[in-house]
A and B are shown apart, each in its own frame.
Chain A
Amino acid sequence: MQHKHSFLVALAVFALSSFVSAGDVSGTVKFDGTAPHMKPIDMAKEPVCQKEHNPPVAIQAVVPGPNNTLDNVLVYVSKGLPAGKTYPTPGQPVTFDQHGCMYNPHVTALMVNQDFHVTNSDPVAHNIHPLAKVNKEWNKSQPPGSAPIDAKFDKPEITIPIKCNIHPWMRGYLAVFDHPYFAVSDADGKFTIKGLPAGHYTITAWQESWGEQTAEIDVPASGAKTLDLTFKARPVY
């Protein structure tokens, strides 16, 4: 009798797990060591933007959060997805705003052919110039008060630096994926890659100054997986 029960329970768990076969991979990106000093940006050439930041904002080559956590880290599945599988393009646009002569967000991740929606909320002109190598390298002006620019990237490319030639301190990064399993860490270093099917994967974390970290994970058939990634702090020049 006991045996029969446990068998039924096992069967139920198996049946359930085949329905809930995707898990969220979440965790925190941290760094070991002391955060390098980031110089404040001198926006004297653009007084309108200078007024926006008091005290002056620092360059974003490394953005540490509380307790040695790390902001703006791109975390994505780099290996382990079935070859040849295609994923639908999200209908939602990814927004990208220029405010106070800074990019918001600093690191933008999107899917191939997803709408990249660029707005300028500054009273000054910017030019949006993604320095793509695989995709098209385009360069468009966006003077104050002009309509949003909608663009698409038709090939996966990790990563594309994006700059404004008018304001040399403006620098951001774009990452274009052919799958939806990526995330960018928030101000507390937290990230969540949603709905990853069960299996074995290589996860790569990319930080613009400190390069890449990889981790091998097994996403279980049921539920979530926690993954913390740690970068070694190095000076940034």
Chain B
Amino acid sequence: MRECRLLTILMLFLLTVPVAAFASPADPDQPTTKPDTSSVKVGHQGVTSDYYVPNSTHPLWKGAGLPIEKASAKIGNLTGDAVKGRNHYRRYCIGCHGPLGNGEGENAQWIDPKPRDFTEGTFRCRSTPTGELPTDQDLFNTIGRGFVTTNMPSWFAINDQDKVDLIAYIKIFSAKWNNPQRAAPIQIPPETPITVESIQRGHDDFEKMQCFKCHGQQGHGDGPSASTLTNSKDQPIRPYDFSAGDRFKCGSTNADIYRDFMTGLDGSPMPSFADQLKPDEAWDLVHYLRTLMVHVDSPERKIMIENHLQFKNEDSGQ
């Protein structure tokens, strides 16, 4: 009698296990239909951890910016879908940028510089003037390029459509995206010839603009103000060391360097010099900055070495 009862329990157990396994709804590739309710399980690889939906009642949870149905992005003939972007975000970005997009993901405490806070709507790498939002193309380039010397990798493994979806999604986080007016990218005129004179004028611009205050006379990132620099969140930040390598955060071509100091890197201490430098002067400065990259072969560096160019730095303030 007793054995019989045990057998029944065992049989019942064996019967229910496969049913329970098939009844599991986890399918990581399918977007859940009602992701905004607090009870929903959203996860990567079927993981239904609370971490991925930490507190959906938080006021920032749905973002302060565009409603998810209205957020979109466009790169060429690709159109971004923010709802799909949300899934990519939860898969690739949430660990650092956080579920609320405020840069407070679970990895953030171990990261320096800190992940971008999308709720501020402030972006480093833009083709638009200082204070303006970036273009979709700027964000697309940033995701693909990554940020050298930070924890933001180059996301070459995400396909273009998914990147555009992600760009659409991050527009839900900041109210700045609600304004439909967008600034146009700055005009970058054709590069002037790389000559000895251009490099010398560029050096004069470097002195006049007092770039050495932060970047140092040799561009090593060791100027008198370097040690006290803070970003817009009062976190310490280092100026770029031109001798450190050949990669810049916002791209490494001459036009990218031109854009860096004409638009400024918003959120960082790097200001815009658009009011101070004419296009020719800006190109001169680019040519001089190239010569500071002492480990990188460049036409500018070649001219400098061939002509034995040397610069005196009397007015350094150091």
Give the B-binding residues of A (Cβ under 8 A). Answer: 45-47, 124-125, 127-129, 131, 133, 136-144, 146-147, 149, 165-168
Chain B: CB-nearest residue to A133: B120
| CB–CB B208/A138 < 8 A | no
A168 to B237, CA, bound (A): 13
A139 to B275, CA, bound (A): 11
Residues of chain B in range 224-279 having any CB-CB distance to chain A below 8 Å: 224-225, 228-230, 232, 264, 266-267, 269-276
| CB–CB A137/B208 < 8 A | no
19 extra A-B contacts, CB within 8 A, seeds A140-B275, A141-B271: A124-B213, A125-B209, A125-B210, A128-B271, A129-B232, A136-B131, A137-B266, A137-B267, A138-B264, A140-B274, A141-B209, A142-B275, A146-B276, A165-B225, A165-B229, A165-B269, A166-B213, A166-B214, A167-B225
| CB–CB A127/B275 < 8 A | no
Chain A: CB-nearest residue to B209: A143
Known: A129-B269, A138-B130, A139-B266. A165 touches B230 (CB 8 A): yes
Known: A124-B210, A127-B269, A166-B213. A137 touches B275 (CB 8 A): no
CB neighbours (8 Å) of A147 from chain B are 275
| CB–CB B232/A131 < 8 A | yes
A45 to B264, CA, bound (A): 24
A46 to B120, CA, bound (A): 32
Selected from A46, A140, A143, the residue in CB contact (under 8 A) with B130 is A140
CB neighbours (8 Å) of B264 from chain A are 138-141
CB neighbours (8 Å) of B213 from chain A are 124-125, 166
Minimum CB–CB distance for A160 against chain B, Å: 12
B104 within 8 Å of A (CB atoms): no
B132 within 8 Å of A (CB atoms): yes
Q: Among A124, A137, A167, which residue has the most Cβ atoms of chain B within 10 A?
A: A137
CB neighbours (8 Å) of B129 from chain A are 138
CB neighbours (8 Å) of B122 from chain A are 137
* Sample of 15 A–B contacts (CB below 8 Å): A47-B317, A128-B271, A137-B122, A137-B232, A138-B264, A139-B131, A139-B271, A140-B274, A141-B209, A141-B271, A141-B275, A142-B275, A166-B214, A166-B225, A167-B225
Q: How large is the interface on B (under 10, 10 to 19, 20 to 34, 35 or more residues)?
A: 20 to 34
Known: A125-B209, A140-B272, A147-B275. A168 touches B266 (CB 8 A): no
Minimum CB–CB distance for A46 against chain B, Å: 8
A136 to B228, CA, bound (A): 24
A124 to B207, CA, bound (A): 11
Chain B: CB-nearest residue to A48: B317
A142 to B274, CA, bound (A): 10
CB neighbours (8 Å) of B230 from chain A are 165, 168
| CB–CB B271/A140 < 8 A | yes
Selected from B209, B270, B272, the residue in CB contact (under 8 A) with A138 is B272
Q: Which 6 A-B pairs have the closest CB atoms?
A: A138-B131, A165-B269, A136-B131, A125-B210, A127-B271, A141-B271
| CB–CB B272/A141 < 8 A | yes
A38 to B125, CA, bound (A): 39
Residues of chain B in range 295-311 having any CB-CB distance to chain A below 8 Å: none
Q: Among A127, A139, A142, which residue has the most Cβ atoms of chain B within 10 A?
A: A139
CB neighbours (8 Å) of B276 from chain A are 141-143, 146
CB neighbours (8 Å) of A128 from chain B are 271
Known: A125-B209, A133-B120, A140-B272. A45 touches B232 (CB 8 A): no
| CB–CB A149/B269 < 8 A | no
Chain B: CB-nearest residue to A45: B224
Chain A: CB-nearest residue to B205: A143
CB neighbours (8 Å) of B224 from chain A are 45-46
Selected from A125, A136, A142, A143, the residue in CB contact (under 8 A) with B132 is A136
| CB–CB A141/B225 < 8 A | no
Minimum CB–CB distance for A203 against chain B, Å: 28
CB neighbours (8 Å) of B269 from chain A are 127, 129, 139, 165-166
CB neighbours (8 Å) of A137 from chain B are 120, 122, 131, 232, 266-267
CB neighbours (8 Å) of A168 from chain B are 225, 228-230
Minimum CB–CB distance for B285 against chain A, Å: 12
